Chains A and B, each alone.
Chain A
Amino acid sequence: MKFTIGLAALAVGMMIAASPAGAADKKVLGVSIPAATHGWAGGLNWHAQQAKIELEKKYPDLTIALVTAGDATRQANDLEDLVQVRKIDALVILPFESAPLTEPVRQVKNAGKWVTIVDRGLTDPSIQDLYVAGNNPQMGTNSADFMVKKLGGKGNIVILRGIPTVIDNQRFDAFMDVVKKTDIKVLDSKYANWNRDDGFKVMQDFLARFPKIDAVWAQDDDITLGVIEAVKQAGRDKDMWILGGAGMKEMIKRVMDKDTLVPADVLYPPKMIADAMELTAKHLMEGAKLEKQYIIDATLVTPDNAKQYYYPDSSF
């Protein structure tokens, strides 16, 4: 079934590509994002496709050219194609990496196009007309605040970190700033690479090593899934709880269902791409005035508000 959906999307894409561009009042919005190589990026792709369908329905004169790239070099090539072949009027881009894409995006800007940057800022922020991003330090702080409150300011925790990157450091440092002022003891922290299998492996070893763990900060929902399995296998699911992050549908569902193992989740929503596309389209089609930047809050999801962040059809 998934294959037919994919083929249908491809066919739709080709029809749009074949339609004549360049009519006077028609506008083209180019969207360039990384390919769906892991869970979060998969969610990103899904939300981008949803936004494309909705916005093209809302603005009949708007065409959205959505391209995905497997690495930074290909993404730079995509930008040339979007400007030269698809004749875009504005660009929404979630850069693979900040540094290598700064110059290619500057060239799009120099060609007179509107530029919206999502999530990963360029090394020269003066290029962007609009910046839409999640808030990594706030994600760390909100996670820490929740843990401190739920643990009553004391207890033993372990931390599973992501992939060694700026994003991971920002989350971790902000988290530690809060926690070190309390009596909570961080037993240890190890990288689990935002990956289920690594989450499982690292947690198994933490469980073997520490007889008393009160809570786990996994900071990512893929890692959390691995951690849950390890905790269940050890039969210690009554002794501890886990705080993940991102907003994966399975985790939001668990929070909604008041699962004691997963009492909350902290958002780092892949939906930010849809918000960026909507804002840019609004500017392009209605001339709406926009702020220079929109920072999306790392909202704490609890059973009270989980429903509004649950997207059962998303792949993430």
Chain B
Amino acid sequence: MPEPSHAAHRASSARRRADLKAFGPFIALAALIVLGAVVNPVFLTPGNLINVLTRTAFTGIIAIGGTFIITTGGIDLSVGSLAAFASGIMIIVMNALTPQGLPPFLVVLLGTLAVMALSVFSGLVNGLLITRGRIEPFIVTLGTMGIFRSLVTYAANGGTLSLNTQIRGYYRPVYYGDILGITYPILVFAVVAAIGAIVLYRTRFGRYVTATGANEEVARYSAIHVDRIKLAAYGLQGLCVGLAVFLYVPRLGSASATTGLGWELEAIAAVIIGGTLMKGGSARIWGTVAGAIILALIDNILNLTGAISVYLNSAIQGCIIIIAVLVQRDAKSRP
């Protein structure tokens, strides 16, 4: 029997490595679910799982947009602050429209349109400053992060913006409502992830996003409008933030200076845990979904046990995040 050729052998082992790497976040997720079940049987009850997944939807949806940006080799630190600012503006708009006697559906619709317009616009401003202004994404979005955070504080007079209770009653089911037990935020998260996967893996735009992050110069020589691709990615991120805000506002009906604090880091962490490369050029949408769920599960499991001192919560979180990424790196470097 002839020996398999060297090249064929190399190709098959490369494929196996790629497979392991792609499965990394899901292996970590499965391990975490087992851990949760061991810690407290309550963990596996549908009520608890639905709660956690619903909570994941905000940062999860934002992380889908973040996957595009990180794949182009960029980063967006402003998403948490933008979410807070957009929530504030949405509440102000809806509070202003309510006394006009408009039907509640129209009030929520107009509020939502305002949020979408604001979020996409803000994303595009980030994108323009990066592509036209030729400033590093880290610096641009660090700047806008401060600007948006400050604007929501100003709009709220340093306090809290609260949604008119009448509209809130109408709007509340968007967060709390469900179809066959699955809440709307979970459904929206799933749909956004599916669309993200189709766009990234099955469209020309998706391939250009990956090519831009893999090697910008080569992409440019291949007649890809690199700046336009980046701009679109930041616009897309804005759209995702807008959607997250649409789902977030009905939960507590308020926005303040502490809204969305740290969401940017959570979203970036979800993307990286999911296996997308920080330096760009390789995207894993479903990995991002797993990453976002992993982060939310860690919080949940820690809340479900009294065995670990609360002073150590962040240490446990840090360890699990690092282990989750190690699982993949290990799988990748194995010969």
Q: Which residues of A contact B (CB under 8 A)?
A: 2-3, 5-6, 35-39, 41-43, 45-46, 161, 164, 187-191, 195-197, 200-202, 204-206, 208-209, 222, 225-226, 229, 233, 250, 314-316
A250→B165 CA distance, assembly (Å): 12
Known A38-B258, A39-B256; judge A190-B158 contact (CB<8 A): no
Chain B count of residues within 8 A CB distance of the other chain: 34
Q: List 12 A-B contacts (CB under 8 A).
A: A2-B156, A5-B157, A35-B158, A42-B157, A42-B159, A42-B256, A201-B299, A208-B51, A222-B256, A225-B252, A315-B159, A315-B160
User: For residue B257, which residue of chain A has the nearest CB?
Assistant: A37
For A229, the chain B residues whose CB sits under 8 A away are: 251-252
Number of A-B residue pairs at CB separation under 8 A: 102
- List the one stretch of B64-72, B199-207, B306-314 in contact with chain A: B306-314
| Residue of A36, A39, A189 touching B310 (CB-CB under 8 A) | A189
Write the chain A residue with the least CB distance to B155. Answer: A2
Query: A36–B159 contact, CB under 8 A?
Result: yes
A191 touches B313 (CB 8 A): yes
Min C-beta distance of A227 to chain B, whole Å: 11
What are the 9 A-B residue pairs with the smallest beta carbon separation, nearest first? A36-B158, A315-B159, A42-B158, A205-B303, A42-B159, A208-B48, A315-B157, A188-B306, A204-B51
Q: Is B45 an interface residue (CB 8 A)?
A: yes
Chain B residues within CB distance 8 Å of chain A: 40, 42, 45, 47-48, 51, 55, 153-160, 162, 176, 251-252, 254, 256-259, 261, 299-300, 302-304, 306, 310-311, 313
Given known pairs A191-B310, A195-B261, the reply for A209 and B158 (CB within 8 Å) is no
Q: Which of A5, A6, A46, A197 sits near B159, CB closer than 8 Å?
A: A46
A209 vs B47: C-alpha distance when bound (angstroms) = 11
Q: Note all chain B residues with C-beta closer than 8 A to A43.
A: 159
Contact of A6 among B157, B258, B303 (CB under 8 A): B157
CB of A39 within 8 A of CB of B304, answer: no
State whether A3 and B251 are in contact (beta carbons under 8 Å apart), knowing that A201-B55, A205-B300, A208-B51 are contacts in the complex. Answer: no
Chain A residues lying within 8 Å of B158, measured Cβ to Cβ, are 35-37, 41-42, 45-46, 315
Additional A-B contacts beyond A6-B154, A188-B306, A225-B252 (5; CB < 8 A): A5-B157, A46-B159, A191-B313, A196-B254, A250-B162
Do A164 and B251 contact each other (CB < 8 Å), given the known contacts A38-B256, A46-B157, A202-B303? no
* Contact in complex: A208, B258 (CB < 8 Å): no
Contact between A39 and B252, CB atoms less than 8 A apart: no
A197-B259, A229-B251, A315-B160 known; A208 vs B154 contact (CB < 8 Å): no
* Chain A hits for B304, CB < 8 A: 205, 208-209
Q: Tell me the bound Cα distance from A38 to B258 in angstroms.
A: 6
B contact residues around A202 at 8 Å (CB): 303
B71 shortest CB reach to chain A, Å: 29
B258 touches A36 (CB 8 A): no
Q: Is the CB of B42 within 8 A of A208?
A: yes
Assembly CA distance A141 to B306 (angstroms): 24
Closest to B300 in A: A205
Q: How far is the CA of A205 from the CA of B52 in the complex (A)?
A: 9
Q: For the complex, give the distance between the alpha carbons of A189 and B48 in Å.
A: 19
- With most chain A CB atoms within 10 A of its CB, the pick from B47, B48, B51, B154 is B51
Neighbour of B252 across the interface among A46, A200, A315, CB < 8 A: A200
Q: Given A189-B310, A200-B251, are A208 and B45 also a contact pair (CB < 8 Å)? A: yes
A246 to chain B, nearest CB (A): 12
In the complex where A196-B252, A205-B300 touch, is A36 in contact with B257 (Cβ < 8 A)? yes
Q: Which residues of B contact A5 (CB under 8 A)?
A: 157
Q: B160 and A197: CB pair below 8 A?
A: no
Distance of A275 Cα from B303 Cα, bound (Å):
40
User: CA–CA, A200 to B250, complex, Å?
Assistant: 13
Q: Considering the chains assembled together, what is the distance between the CA atoms of A302 and B259 in angstroms? A: 30
Residues on the A chain within 8 Å of B313, using CB: 191
Instruction: Evaluate contact between B156 and A315: CB separation under 8 angstroms.
Output: yes
Residues in chain A near residue B40, CB distance under 8 A: 209
Q: Which residues of A have CB within 8 Å of B48? A: 205, 208
The chain B residue with its CB closest to the CB of A9 is: B157
Q: Quick one: given A189-B310, A208-B47, A225-B254, are A233 and B176 in contact (CB under 8 Å)?
A: yes
> Which chain B residue shows the least CB distance to A193?
B258
Q: List, in ascending order, chain B residues with CB within 8 A of A195's CB.
A: 258, 261
Are A39's CB and B42's CB within 8 A? no
Chain B residues whose CB sits within 8 angstroms of the CB of A3 once the complex forms: 154-155
Which B-chain residue is minimally distant from A226 (CB atoms)?
B252
B310 to A42, Cβ gap below 8 A? no
Given the complex, which residues of B lie within 8 Å of A315, measured CB to CB?
156-160
**Interfacial chain B residues near A208, Cβ < 8 Å:** 42, 45, 47-48, 51, 304
Q: How far is the CB of B95 from chain A (nearest CB, A)?
A: 10
